Amino acid sequence: SPRYAVFGQPVSHSLSPAIHAAFGRALSIPLRYEAIEAAPADFADALAAFAAGGGRGGNVTLPLKELAVPLCASLGDSARRAGAVNTLVRRGDGWHGENTDGRGLVRDLTDRAGLDLRARRTLLIGAGGAARGVAPALLDAGIGDLYIVNRTGGRADALADALGQPGRVHPRYLDDAGKLGEFDLVINATSAGRGSGLPILPRSVLAHRAVAVDLNYGEVAVRFLSWARAAGAHDVVDGLGMLVEQAAEGFALWHGVRPDTDEVYRQLRSRNA
Ligand code: ATR
């Protein structure tokens, strides 16, 4: 059967192999999906070897999403606007790059969590690969003004520039987050939970009925989402649903059919409460 793989470092914890295997079983589509550990310096070689060995599609996770861009022969709109690739599709003798993270997030928030994103004044914390992946789809989903705050201000400026909607997208320093008023949607797109820890935001950033989202899941998401709950967020959403939904989008690109995600989501949720 055709080969698929997720590339990352570290990659052993990735849930993607289990998710794609479950989708394949549910739809009776035979596939092989493996996890391939690749350091940034080895990624190009690993991807070429995978293609030579019959690789038909791939997912790209930390820290390789931005490095995948120049390895693609063509890019879809989603990947071009994000400047990051999370899904690779073999086309002819090259890779086509897409980014399904943003659509996955929007699908999770609207369909699973039942939220209306339209006109929500939004605070996006972080300007790295994860933030880049979701910002275009959030704008497309009709959110209101988007404030991007980042510890390193220059990266917030660069992301805002790339989004190309200066009237609607406002880059700021993370330290100034408390001076920007109230937000209806606050999204942690930093990797801070994995390391030194995000500075605690004033609870005044959360508007009445605000939704707080962490693009991470599991242990990494606990700190931000605990803060959000204590600070009075109306809804609190981690990144597990986005993970399943971005996988379903990728599966559809590879196999031509979008799997139902509810069962896989339920199973993962029962193990990642
Ligand atoms: P990812 O693909 O997860 O976004 P990344 O591209 O390395 O990874 O970006 C990490 C993001 O988390 C960045 O926005 C980073 O801020 P800087 O650009 O200033 O480095 C943010 N981040 C990581 N640790 C942080 C911390 N302790 N406090 C605040 N922001 C942090």
Q: Is the pLDDT of residue 36 over 80?
A: yes
CATH number at residue 124: 3.40.50.720
Q: Would you call 241 helix, strand, or coil by DSSP?
A: helix
Q: Within this chain, do residues 79 and 48 fall inside the same structural domain, yes or no?
A: yes
Ligand 1 contacts CB of residue 126 (under 6 A)? yes
Q: Is the pLDDT of residue 72 over 70?
A: yes
The CA angle 31-62-92, to the nearest 5 degrees, is: 45
Q: How far is the CA of 128 from the centre of ligand 1 (A)?
A: 6
Q: Is the pLDDT of residue 74 over 90?
A: yes
Q: Within this chain, do residues 211 and 178 fall inside the same structural domain, yes or no?
A: yes
Q: Within this chain, do residues 31 and 129 fall inside the same structural domain, yes or no?
A: no
Q: Is the pLDDT of residue 197 over 80?
A: no
Q: Within this chain, do residues 67 and 27 fall inside the same structural domain, yes or no?
A: yes
- Paired residues of 96 in beta bridges: 74, 89
Where helices occur in the chain by DSSP H, the ranges are 16-27, 43-52, 77-82, 101-107, 129-140, 153-163, 219-230, 240-255, 262-271
Q: Within this chain, do residues 149 and 72 fall inside the same structural domain, yes or no?
A: no
Ligand 1 contacts CB of residue 198 (under 6 A)? yes
Q: Is the pLDDT of residue 87 over 70?
A: yes
Q: Within this chain, do residues 228 and 181 fall inside the same structural domain, yes or no?
A: yes
**Lowest-pLDDT range, 25-39, 41-55, 176-190, 195-209?**
195-209
* DSSP sequence for 209-220: EEEEEES--THH
Confidence of residue 200 (pLDDT cuts 50, 70, 90): confident
Verdict on whether the full-model pTM lies above 0.80: yes
Confidence of residue 137 (pLDDT cuts 50, 70, 90): very high
**Lowest-pLDDT range, 21-25, 135-139, 193-197, 264-268?**
193-197
- Predicted confidence at residue 195, as pLDDT, reads 66
Instruction: Provide mean pLDDT across the span 44-69.
Output: 96
**Test site for ligand 1: of 101, 173, 190, most ligand atoms within 8 A of the Cβ:** 190
Residue 51 phi/psi, 5-degree rounding, is: -65, -45
> Per the domain annotation, does 104 fall within a domain?
no
Identify residue 200 by its one-letter amino acid code: I
- Predicted confidence at residue 88, as pLDDT, reads 98
Q: Within this chain, do residues 178 and 147 fall inside the same structural domain, yes or no?
A: yes
Ligand 1 contacts CB of residue 190 (under 6 A)? yes
Q: Within this chain, do residues 218 and 141 fall inside the same structural domain, yes or no?
A: yes
> Per the domain annotation, does 164 fall within a domain?
yes
Q: How far is the CA of 271 from the centre of ligand 1 (A)?
A: 27
Atom of ligand 1 nearest to the CA of 131: 4
- Predicted confidence at residue 196, as pLDDT, reads 67
Q: Within this chain, do residues 118 and 234 fall inside the same structural domain, yes or no?
A: yes
CATH number at residue 71: 3.40.50.10860
- Predicted confidence at residue 273, as pLDDT, reads 62
Q: Is the pLDDT of residue 178 over 90?
A: yes
Domain count, the chain: 2
Instruction: Provide mean pLDDT across the span 227-239.
Output: 97
Q: Residue 77 annotated as binding?
A: yes
> Per the domain annotation, does 106 fall within a domain?
no
Domain range holding 30?
3-99+241-271
Q: Residue 100 annotated as binding?
A: no
Q: Residue 153 annotated as binding?
A: yes
Q: Within this chain, do residues 234 and 116 fall inside the same structural domain, yes or no?
A: yes
Q: How far is the CA of 47 from the centre of ligand 1 (A)?
A: 26
> Per the domain annotation, does 201 fall within a domain?
yes
Q: Residue 76 annotated as binding?
A: no
Ligand 1 contacts CB of residue 192 (under 6 A)? yes
Q: Within this chain, do residues 127 and 68 fall inside the same structural domain, yes or no?
A: no
Q: How far is the CA of 120 from the centre of ligand 1 (A)?
A: 24
> Per the domain annotation, does 30 fall within a domain?
yes
Q: Within this chain, do residues 216 and 246 fall inside the same structural domain, yes or no?
A: no
ipTM: 0.97
> Per the domain annotation, does 257 fall within a domain?
yes
Question: How far apart (Å, rounded) are the C-alpha atoms in residues 233 and 98?
Answer: 32
> Per the domain annotation, does 255 fall within a domain?
yes
> Per the domain annotation, does 77 fall within a domain?
yes
Neighbours of 118 (CB within 10 A): 10
Ligand 1 contacts CB of residue 86 (under 6 A)? no
